[in-house]
Structure 1
Amino acid sequence: MSTDALSPDIRPDAPLEFPDNFLLIDLCGEYDSNLAAIESTLGVQILRRGNQLEVMGDEDARQNARKVLIGLYERLESGRSLEPGDVTSAMRLGVDSGPPEPGDQKEMFKGTPADRVEIKTRKKLVEPRTEAQKAYVRSLFENELSFGIGPAGTGKTYLAVAVAVNHFISGNVDKIILSRPAVEAGEKLGYLPGDMKDKVDPYMQPLYDALNDFFPAKQVAKLIEEKRIEIAPLAFMRGRTLARAAVVLDEAQNATSMQMKMFLTRLGEGSRMTITGDRTQIDLPRGVSSGLWDAERLLKNIPKISFNYFTSKDVVRHPLVAAIIEAYEAEDAAKG
C-alpha cells in the first residue's frame, strides 16, 4: 500500500487512496455492500471516485470509518479474505476504541505474527474476530479440556470444530468426535419420521455444517464412513474411552449433571476435549439441573482446565443477533 496515501499525517478529511483496484473492489464488497454497512453503522457517507474513497460525517464517525477502511484494506493486502463478519468486527473494534491517535490506524487491525491467531483447515484459514475469540482459540490449543460459555452466535462451536479439524490434519489426534445432547426445544423426537439416525441427525446438523466449512464434502463423507469422524448424541458416548481424539460437546447446557460427569470422564490419553454451551438456553425439564452449571462450579479451579466466556459483543452472526441478545439480557436483569 502507498504509505503516502494512508499516512496518518495527511489531512483527516483528505480522500483515502487505494492503489490496488482489485483489492478495492473486494474492500467495497458486492454492489458496495461493505461500504453501505459502514455508512449505516457508523453514520457516515462514503463517496467512491476511481481508486479513492472520501468519507464524510462528523469528526469521530469519520475517523472511525477511515480507520475501518484502512484496516480492512490491509487485511486484504496480507492475503486474507474479507467476509461480512470481518467488516462487522472491524467496525465494532473501531467504535469501541474511540478516535485514533496519530500512527495507530494501521496497527489496530494489522496484527503481528506474534498476536495474530489463525486456524488452518482443509478448505480455509479461520481467524477469530474478537479478543474473546482469540483468547478462546489460544486456550483450545494450550489445554486438554476447555469450556466455551456464552450466547448464540459467538463462534463457540464453530471455532472448537475448526481447532479439532486442525489437530486432526496436523496428526495430533486420530479422529474427531462431535456430540450434542438430543434434547428437544418444544418438539419431540418421536414425532419425527424415520429410524433413529433420521430422528437424531436434525439435532446434529449444526455440527455437520461446521465440518463442511472446513473439509470438502466428499472428504467429510469418507471420514465419517471410516469412523475417523463421528457425530453422535451424547447418550452414545457412555462406556467409551476417547483416546487420541479431538472431542467437542456442543449445547452442553442441555446435558444433565450425570451426563456431563459421564462425558468428562471419557477423556482418554492424547485427547483434547471442548465443551460449549449457553446458560440462557436450557431446554431441560423443569427441576433438572444443567450439567454445565455443575461443571463450571466444580472444575473452575482445576489447573489445565480453561473457562472462556463470551458476551453479545462477541456475536459474529448478523448484527441484529447481538441486539436481540442484549434486549433479552436487559429483560432478565430487570426481573432481577
Structure 2
Amino acid sequence: MTDATPATPTTASTDGSASQPKPTVKHTVSVPNSINMVSLLGPGDEHLGLIERAFDADVHVRGNRITVEGQPAEIALVERLLDELVTIIRTGQGVTGETVERVLSMLRAETTERPADVLSLNILSNRGRSIRPKTLNQKRYVDAIDKHTITFGIGPAGTGKTYLAMAKAVQALQSKNVNRIILTRPAVEAGERLGFLPGTLSEKIDPYLRPLYDALHDMIDPETIPKLLAAGTIEVAPLAYMRGRTLNDSFIILDEAQNTTPEQMKMFLTRLGFGSKIVVTGDVTQVDLPGGTKSGLRVVEEILDGVEDLSFNRLSAQDVVRHRLVGKIVAAYDTFDARAASPRPGERRP
C-alpha cells in the first residue's frame, strides 16, 4: 500500500542562475505486518543503507512504514525494489546485501522478468542448501538448458556456467529424465604434464578433473558418489575417451570447451544419442591451446548458425557470482584487452 504526497519543489542550478524547478514527491510504503523488518532492512539497517546510497532519494522508516522522498522516477524504482524484496522474503529465502544489489541491477536494466522470479527459481536442494540462478543471464541460461537439446554457455570464470549445468544434470538424473551423467574436459594442460605425475593414467588425469568432482560434492551426498561412479551412473573422463561412442539417455557436459580444436568439438557434438542433452561451457578469453591452433568454441557458433534446437548463451562480468572482486577483475581485464586491441590515434597496427 502506497500513499503519495506532493513535496515542496526544489531548484537545481550549477552556475547560480535560476533554473526550472524539479518537483519531488513523497510516498509512504506500508510493509505487510507478516514481514520481519529486520529481514527486509538488514541487520543494523545494512540493506537500508544500500538503498539510500543507490538512489537520489531520502528514505525514512517508522515501524512498518517506509517514507521515500525524491524524483518520481527514483521513488517508483525504490517502491519496486521493496516489493521485490518482500516477495523474495515470502518465498522463505533470506535477503542479503548481495540480493539487494542484484535486484537493483535487474531493475536498472529494465528487464521484462521480475527479479524475484529470477532469484527464487530453485534448481536443486541438497543438505539444506538450494542452488538457484543469481542473475538474469543465469536464469536465461538455465531456461535454455530446459528448452534445447544442445546448449552453449560462454563467459568468464565465476559466472556459474559449469556449476548450473551440473545442477541441471543432477536434477535430470534425480527426476529420471536421464540414466547417467557424463562430465568431460579436454585434457590440454594435463596432457602437457602427464609424464611428470605419479600413478596410472587415471590417477594422472584425476587432479585435472578435480573441479568437476568438487562441484558434484556440493550437489550429491558425498558417500553416494563413489557408488554412482563405480556403477557408471556418473562418469568423469577426458574428452579423448568420448571418441567412437554414442551416448543415449545421458546428460553430457563438456567443460573448458575453449581448449577443444574444431575437430574435437565436431567429434564431441556428434556423440549425441537419443534422449540425451548436451551442455558445452567455456571462456573464449582463456584458450590454452598451442599457438596457431584454432579454438573449437570460437568457431562453432558460426558453423552451427541456423541449426534448430541449439542455444548460445553469453554471460559477462556482471554475472560473476564469486567474490565481488572477481567481477571487477574480469571487467578490468576486458577493458585492458579492448584497449590493447585498438590502435592509438596516429599509430599503425603492425
Task: Please state which band the TM-score falls in when normalised by the shorter chain.
Answer: 0.7 to 0.9
Residue of structure 1 aligned with 2:88, choices 75, 79, 86? 75
Offset of residue 119 of structure 1: 2.2
| 8 Å contact from structure 1 (residues 38, 44) kept in 2 | no
For the pair 1:227 / 2:232, whether they are aligned, the reply is yes
CA contact (8 A) 2:3 2:28 kept: no
Task: Pick the aligned partner of 1:294 from 299, 302, 317.
Answer: 299
| Residues in 2 aligned to 1:117 and 1:278: alpha-carbon distance in whole angstroms | 25
Contact 1:121 1:166 in 2 (8 A): no
C-alpha displacement at 1:77, in angstroms?
0.6
Change (3 A) 1:203 1:67: farther
Q: Aligned to 1:96, which of 88, 109, 112? A: 109
Amino acid at match of 2:33: P
1:246 alignment partner, SS class: strand
For 2:123, give the aligned amino acid. Answer: I
8 Å Cα contact 1:180/1:249 also seen in 2: yes
**TM-score of the pair, normalised by structure 2:** 0.76
Distance 1:86 1:200, change over 3 A: farther
Structure 1 counterpart of 2:99, one-letter code: D
Deviates more, 1:212-221 or 1:302-311: 212-221
Give aligned pairs, total.
321
Report Cα offsets for 1:152-180 as digits up to 9, x if no partner. Answer: 22222122111111211111100111112
Instruction: Give the C-alpha shift of residue 147 in structure 1.
Output: 0.9
Deviations 1:158-211 (A, max 9, x none): 2211111121111110011111222339x8454455544444333323322332
The 3-state SS of whatever aligns with 1:306 is strand
Paired residues of 2:59 and 2:67 also in contact (CA < 8 A):
yes
Deviation, 1:108, is 4.1
Range with greater deviation from structure 2 (11-20 or 312-321): 11-20
1:90-239 → structure 2 map (5 Å cutoff): 90-97=103-110, 108-111=114-117, 117-122=121-126, 124-184=129-189, 188-192=193-197, 194-239=199-244
2-structure distance, mates of 1:331, 1:94: 28
How far apart in 2 are the matches of 1:34 and 1:211?
Answer: 33
CA separation in 2, counterparts of 1:158 and 1:61?
Answer: 36
Q: Bigger radius of gyration, 1 or 2? A: 2
Task: Give the 3 Å change call, closer, same or farther, for CA 176–33 of structure 1 in structure 2.
Answer: farther
Q: Is the 8 Å Cα contact of residues 121 and 165 (structure 1) preserved in structure 2?
A: no
| Separation in 2, partners of 1:244, 1:8 | 56
Amino acid paired to 2:263: M
Q: Secondary structure at the match of 2:294?
A: coil
1:8 deviates by: 6.6
Among 21, 30, 33, which residue is 1:19 paired with? 33
Give the 3 Å change call, closer, same or farther, for CA 189–28 of structure 1 in structure 2: farther
Point out the structure with the larger strand share.
Answer: 2
1:101 equivalent in structure 2? none
Identity %: 41
Q: Structure 1 residues 14 and 209 mapped into 2: Cα distance closer, same or farther (>3 Å)? A: farther
What TM-score do the two structures reach when normalised by structure 1? Answer: 0.78
How far apart are 1:73 and its partner, in Å? 2.6
RCO higher in structure (CA 8 A, sep ≥6): 1
Structure 1 residues 138 and 109: alpha-carbon distance in aligned structure 2, compared to 1, 3 A threshold = closer
In 1: Cα distance, 2:199 partner to 2:331 partner: 39
Aligned to 1:268: 273
Measure, in 2, the Cα distance between the counterparts of 1:261 and 1:216: 34
RMSD: 3.7
> Given the superposition, is the C-alpha separation of residues 183 and 108 from structure 1 closer, same or farther in structure 2, using an over 3 Å criterion?
same
Return closer, same or farther for 1:224/1:314 CA change in 2, 3 Å cut-off.
same
Structure-2 separation of matches of 1:236 and 1:327? 37
Question: Is the 2:180–2:251 contact (alpha carbons within 8 Å) kept by the matching residues of 1?
Answer: yes
Matches within 5 A, 1:249-288: 249-288=254-293
Separation (CA, whole Å) in 2 of partners of 1:236 and 1:108: 43
CA distance in 1, matches of 2:69, 2:39: 21
SS in 1 for 2:307: coil
Q: Judging changes above 3 Å, is the alpha-carbon distance between structure 1 residues 158 and 84 closer, same or farther for their aligned structure 2 residues? A: farther
2:109 is paired with a residue whose SS is: helix
2:115 partner amino acid: F
What letter is aligned with 1:93? Answer: M
